[in-house]
Structure 1
Amino acid sequence: MNLQNLRVFLKVAELEHITRASEELHLTQPAVTKIIQSLEQEAHLELVERQGRRIVLTHAGRVLQTYARQMFSLEREMDDALAALRDVHRGEIKLAANTTAGVYLLPSIVARFRSLYPQVALNISILNSQDIIDHILDWSLDFGIVEGEASQLPESLNVRFFTRDTLILVVPPGHPWCGYEKISAAELGDNVLVVREPGSGVRDMLERELACRDISLKPLLTLTDNEAIKQMVISGVGAAVVSFLTVQRELASGDLVQIPLADMKLQPELSFIQRPDKQLSRAAQAFFSFLFPLAESPA
């Protein structure tokens, strides 16, 4: 159906009057009447009934009115989405970060970005690295920040180095390892570590490093939250390999003790990832440029 004819029909339905509709639309009354008749012929149904000077919708007319409203609502949504692509000062950015980046790095970055672009809606999720990759690949996100080596990420993604993390071994005060000068990789394998779930960047790097030494990780306990892991260790449940960023306060207060690792240097990369073929809004491009001021905005 002709969209302009549907607009005329909606105005007639709204005002329930041919003459008033023609005046608001700056059309002649015969032109409005002809458009309604044309729609009826196209639908093979009567859409309106005259009751004196008023126009009343038939059941078919009400059905058409409902769908026409939905169509023009979608048209407005489309116009708004296209405007957001043109306008750097509005729109929405969908971003996900692993727990370390999302909790300990992003807040200060977001605060500075918001001071420059207060009208931009930031939709931020905290997920493990594998979930972020999955959501990037299925078009759900604009960007992601994940932990792990860039060489281990899907080749179909654009990957840009963001910063480097450091993983350390922590125990509670009084733990038997507190008297050790260093702990070897072999001592981490069997039922001593409280660890993150499979798919997290920390867990993946730890398992790869142990596997290189023919050691299989057998966790004492698996949790999905860094804060829960810290509390388990503080309570004396076990030891943990965690991001240094997540335990600075506990190390300073003495609630946790760092034990050096003898033959492992765990420094995973935090990488900024996106689909190379995803069309980004101007706001999303501005966020990228905010993080990497000397880089070209991604396509």
Structure 2
Amino acid sequence: MNLHALRLFHVIASTGSVTRASELLNISQPAITAQMKKFEKELSLSLIKPRGRGIALTDAGEKLSLLADRLFAAERQIEQFCQEYRDGTNGHIRIAATYLPAHFLLPTWIGKFKRQYEQVEMTITTTNSSDALKQLLNMEVDLAIYGGLPEKYPNSILAEELFRDELWFVVAPSHGFANRQVTLSEMMQVPFVMREVGSSTRERLLALCRTYSAPSPRITLQFNGLHEAITAVIAGYGANFISSLVVREYVERGELSRVYVEGVHLQNTIAVCTRKDEPLPAVVTNFLKLIQEGA
């Protein structure tokens, strides 16, 4: 079927006038009339009939006009859909985030983003740092929001640092080390409550002990979430090594206390990671811009 001729017919049917269609399309009336006769011959159907000084649609023309309405309405929807994807106002963002940004940063970022881009779908997977980068490399997600050390990123990943936060040792206020300064070896005598293997802060603690030739931490209680680990320490069991973003309010409220370890001043890097040399969809670029401005 000649879609150009169908479009001409659709305009004629919509306006009820060859003259008006000619003006709208900037095509001469004789040219439109000739194309309509050719179109009717192609379809072996009569679509338009004379009525007084104007025209009217035949029964077949009426029904074809309804179908053409649907077709060109779908065309407009497709055009709008494509434009929204080009502008980044529609689409789907898939994010893998470690526990720290997933719980303490992403909710605010996503809230701001969705107020501006309501139609954008977002899927967030909360996992440990190793799995977040694995999902990014396997093209399961568009972004990985990661807390850890920059040198641990694979070469195929582009990491942009957003900011840094301190890593603290914390215990319950009733603990003998609360608000005291101790050596790293002394700190390692305390049982630790930590997240699962693969957690970036857990790896940082192990690396810290190796660097200073201190005993390895005794991780006697392990949880898959931050909240559970913090609650156990608040209840009076062991110590935790954790981002200040997570426990600052607990310390300020007096539910936890810091332990100051001699010579240890570590920071955690919060970074957003993408696949290197891969163009990003507009919707992902818009989200990145928002978190870069907010960091």
Same-fold call, TM cutoff 0.5? yes
Alignment of 1:243-258 (within 5 A): 243-258=243-258
Give the Cα separation in 1 of the matches to 2:171 and 2:275: 39
Give the number of equivalent residue pairs: 220
Alpha carbons of 1:259 and 1:189: their partners in 2 closer, same or farther (altered >3 Å)?
closer
Give the Cα separation in 2 of the matches to 1:256 and 1:210: 23
Give the Cα separation in 2 of the matches to 1:152 and 1:269: 11
Give the Cα separation in 2 of the matches to 1:119 and 1:148: 32
Give the Cα separation in 2 of the matches to 1:192 and 1:109: 35
Give the Cα separation in 1 of the matches to 2:260 and 2:202: 18
Give the Cα separation in 2 of the matches to 1:141 and 1:198: 22
Query: How far 1:81 sits from its partner (Å)?
Result: 9.0
1:84–1:281: 8 Å Cα contact kept in structure 2?
A: no
Aligned to 1:183: 182
Aligned to 2:193: 194
Give the Cα separation in 2 of the matches to 1:235 and 1:135: 35
Alignment of 1:255-266 (within 5 A): 255-266=255-266
Give the Cα separation in 1 of the matches to 2:266 and 2:80: 46
2:177–2:259: 8 Å Cα contact kept in structure 1?
A: yes
The gaps in structure 1 that reach 5 residues or longer are: 1-25, 30-77, 295-299
Give the Cα separation in 1 of the matches to 2:97 and 2:106: 8
2:96–2:136: 8 Å Cα contact kept in structure 1?
A: no
Tell me, what secondary structure is at the counterpart of 2:122? strand
Alignment of 1:49-88 (within 5 A): 85-88=85-88
1:142–1:284: 8 Å Cα contact kept in structure 2?
A: yes
Residue 285 (structure 2) pairs with residue 281 (structure 1): no
Residue 162 (structure 2) pairs with residue 162 (structure 1): yes
Aligned to 1:270: 270
Alpha carbons of 1:83 and 1:130: their partners in 2 closer, same or farther (altered >3 Å)?
farther
Range with greater deviation from structure 2 (251-260 or 228-237): 251-260
Residue 124 (structure 2) pairs with residue 124 (structure 1): yes
Alpha carbons of 1:190 and 1:239: their partners in 2 closer, same or farther (altered >3 Å)?
same
Aligned to 1:221: 221
Instruction: State the AA in 1 paired with 2:198.
Output: G
Query: How far 1:293 sits from its partner (Å)?
Result: 5.2
Aligned to 1:97: 97
Query: How far 1:80 sits from its partner (Å)?
Result: 10
Instruction: State the AA in 2 paired with 1:152.
Output: K
Give the Cα separation in 1 of the matches to 2:114 and 2:177: 45
Query: How far 1:289 sits from its partner (Å)?
Result: 2.0
Query: How far 1:85 sits from its partner (Å)?
Result: 4.2
Query: How far 1:277 sits from its partner (Å)?
Result: 4.4
Structure possessing the higher radius of gyration over alpha carbons: 2
Instruction: State the AA in 2 paired with 1:170.
Output: V
Alpha carbons of 1:93 and 1:262: their partners in 2 closer, same or farther (altered >3 Å)?
same
Alignment of 1:14-29 (within 5 A): 27=43
1:148–1:204: 8 Å Cα contact kept in structure 2?
A: no
2:191–2:217: 8 Å Cα contact kept in structure 1?
A: no
Provide TM-score, normalisation by structure 1.
0.67
Instruction: State the AA in 1 paired with 2:109.
Output: I
Query: How far 1:87 sits from its partner (Å)?
Result: 3.9
Aligned to 2:234: 234
The gaps in structure 2 that reach 5 residues or longer are: 1-41, 46-77
The percentage of aligned residue pairs carrying the same residue is 26
Aligned to 1:173: 173
Aligned to 2:141: 141
Give the Cα separation in 2 of the matches to 1:98 and 1:84: 30
Give the Cα separation in 2 of the matches to 1:82 and 1:135: 27
Give the Cα separation in 1 of the matches to 2:149 and 2:82: 36
Aligned to 2:64: none
Query: How far 1:260 sits from its partner (Å)?
Result: 1.2
Give the Cα separation in 2 of the matches to 1:136 and 1:159: 12
